[in-house]
Structure 1
Amino acid sequence: MNITSLLIAWLITAVSFFVISKLPIGVEIDTLPKTLISAAVLGILNSLVKPVLNLLVKIPNFLTLNLFHGLFAFIISVICFGLAAYLVEGFRLRYGIWSAIIGALALSLVSSLIYNVLPV
């Protein structure tokens, strides 16, 4: 991944964070700089924590014959989303785990929509 695509992904994530923070789902981000920081922290967590969690999920995936692979991937996304909220001051999950679940889903949907609209 080159620096340009990394910056585009960061900005799209930041815009997605901004959009979902305006929805009534319990994801609250105080300021625009906190939104940019939250997007960067989530990106770092996705690149560092996600591979470790994916390794831990290999055994349950194997035992269930990959039937729940998508569910495990989503749970890992929720964990990273919650960790980002825990690490960034000014990024809160009002309803706890439920905000993390809905926020991770909303972030995925909004990011996907933006990627599909932009010619990236």
Structure 2
Amino acid sequence: MGSLVWLLQWPIRALVLLIVAWLPLGVEIESFPIALLAAVVIGLLGTLLIWPLKLLLGPFWAVTSLGGVISPVSLLFNWLITVILFGLAAWLIQGFRLRQGLLSAVLGAVVYAVLSAVILRMLGLDVDFTRVSALMSQVAAG
């Protein structure tokens, strides 16, 4: 069932990217196929880079959040990772541009993350991290 949910999320996330591009945030996406590609790339980058980014940012997070005691700091670090992934995807994909650079990456990533979460939850297609990690461990086990 997990793979099916991911496949169903893909075009929805692409539509969310088109909504983000429609808003005056400085995010430009040329077409729906580019949005589909961007949704895949953002997902793949998140899968491949989440742990390295958390390891890289971990010491700063530990100091500034007092080891996770100050939860708004943890939220800011997760948000920073989202902005990095969004910016990397725009850098990698021709037809996906951030007109105002970092400002567009910040605004676009936040709106993308919030809209994706709300819409996927409303449709019953949200997959939280614990379900994803459980699924990955099942795949690794055999």
Do the structures match in fold with TM over 0.5?
A: yes
Residue 119 (str. 1) matches residue 124 (str. 2): yes
User: Aligned partners of 1:14, 1:44: CA distance in 2, in Å?
Assistant: 14
Task: Give 1:113 shift.
Answer: 2.2
2:9 match: 9
User: Aligned partners of 2:52, 2:121: CA distance in 1, in Å?
Assistant: 29
Matches within 5 A, 1:1-120: 2-64=2-64, 65=66, 66=68, 67=70, 68-120=73-125
SS at match of 1:92: strand
Moved more, 6-15 or 32-41: 6-15
Task: Give 1:8 shift.
Answer: 2.0
Task: Give 1:119 shift.
Answer: 3.0
Deviation readout 1:20-69 (Å, 9 max, x if unpaired): 11111110000110010000000000001121101112212222212311
User: Aligned partners of 2:121, 2:43: CA distance in 1, in Å?
Assistant: 20
Q: How many residues align?
A: 120
2:58 aligned partner, one-letter code? K
Identical amino acids, percent of aligned pairs: 39
Structure 2 gaps of 5+ residues are 126-142
TM-score by length of 1: 0.93
For the pair shown, the structure with the greater C-alpha radius of gyration is 2
Task: Give 1:116 shift.
Answer: 2.9
SS at match of 2:97: strand
TM-score by length of 2: 0.79
User: Aligned partners of 2:51, 2:82: CA distance in 1, in Å?
Assistant: 11
SS at match of 1:28: strand
